[in-house]
Amino acid sequence: MSPLQLCLLFSSLLFCVGLAGALSRSNTILVLLGIELMLNAANLNFIAFWRYGPHPEAGTGLIFVLFAIAVAAAEAAVGLALVIAIHRHRKSIRLQEANSLKG
């Protein structure tokens, strides 16, 4: 197996673990953790294709990853703020109870 295939295999396993965690949990924080795992798998794909691509001396892969990390940090901050706001009103962070916040 080539190093690119190993990186892609590891990335797909990481994405599957994150997807399973995001879909099977009822705790909001664990769902956010699963989403972060999926974003890290995408970052690993960016790095692998940059490193084993035709022009690894160009820094395009690193720039994509830096933007993706910035977006992930913003997503985590907004998600945690929503979890704290829901916890203050409902005294729970379960997704089933947050569904009752609709209109």
Q: Where are the domains of the chain?
A: 3-95
- The whole-angstrom separation of Cα 81 and Cα 103 is 20
Domain 3-95, CATH 3.90.550.10 — does that match? Answer: no
Q: Is 91 helix (H, G, I), strand (E, B) or coil?
A: coil
pTM value is: 0.78
Size of the chain in residues: 103
Tell me, letter by letter, the H, E, C secondary structure of 75-90: HHHHHHHHHHHHHHHH
Q: What is the pLDDT along the chain (103 residues), one digit of tens a residue?
A: 888 899 999 999 999 999 999 999 878 888 888 999 998 999 899 888 888 888 777 777 788 788 888 988 888 888 888 888 877 877 777 776 666 666 5
